[in-house]
Amino acid sequence: MPGADQLQRNDARRAAQERVRDRLAVLLAVNSGATDAIGFLALGGAFASVMTGNMVITGVGAATADGSLIVLAVSAIISFVVGCALGARLAGLPQSGDPVWPAAVTRALAVQTVLTVMLSVVWWVTGPERGETVRLILLGGHAVALGLQSSTVQRFGARGLSTTYLTGTLTGLVVRLATGGGVRSVGRNAALLLGLIGGAALGAVLTAKAWALAPLTQLVPLVLVLALGVVLPSGSRRFGRTTPS
C-alpha cells in the first residue's frame, strides 16, 4: 500500500499528464476544424464531423427537392457513423485502470492518420478541378476519419472532452462562467474551441489560396499527436485512474 506522499506524487504526475493530454486534444481539434473547412469549401458544402449541420442540410435538401444535397449530407452522416463504430472497436471503452493516454488511443489515431494520408494523396492527384464523385469520396473518407477520432477520444473517459462536435464544449464554457466558475475553470474548453476555429481558418485560407498545402493542416496535427502521445502511457501505468477531469 503506497503511503500518502507517494499517492500525492502519483496524483501530481497524473495531473501533469492530463494537462499534456488536453493540449494534444487541442491539436486534434485543429485537425477537425481544418477538415470541416476543407470539406465545406472544396468538397460540396457538407461537413465531415458536424452531423447536426448535415442533418439540417438533409432537411433543406428534402424541402427543396435537391437530391444532390441530400446525397452529399447523408453520405457524410453514414460515413461518420462507420468511423465512429471503427473507432469504438479500435479504442474501446474507458477502463478503471487506464493510463492517461491508453495505447489503444494511439493505435486508433494511427489508423486515422493513415487514412488521412491516403485521402491527401487523392486530393493532390486529382487537383482542384476534381469531379463530383471524387469530392464525394473525399468527403466520405474524411467523415470516417473524424468519426473514428470522435469515438476514440471517448476512451479517455474525461468528462466534457471532445475534439469534433464542440457545441457541448461551448455550452459547458458558458454554464461554468455564468455560475461563477471563473476563467481558469474553462481553460480546456476555451482552448478546444480556439483550436477548432484556428484549424478551420487555416484550412479555409489554404484551400482558397494554396490548395496543395491544405492537407498539411490535417496531417501535421495528427503526426504531432502521435509523436507526443506515445510517451504518455508508459509513465502512467504504475498508478490507478482518478476521477475524470
Domain borders along the chain are 21-229
The residue assigned the cell 448535415 is: 54
- Position 1 confidence tier, pLDDT thresholds 50, 70, 90: low
Average pLDDT over residues 96-121: 95
Lowest mean pLDDT: which of 136-145, 179-188, 233-242?
233-242
- Identify the band that residue 245 occupies on the pLDDT scale cut at 50, 70 and 90: very low
- Residue 240 or residue 166, greater confidence: 166
Please tell me the predicted confidence (pLDDT) of residue 239: 43
**Residue 87 confidence (pLDDT) above 70:** yes
Judged against a pLDDT cut of 70, whether residue 76 lies above it is answered with yes
Domain 21-229: CATH architecture, name and number where available: Up-down Bundle (1.20)
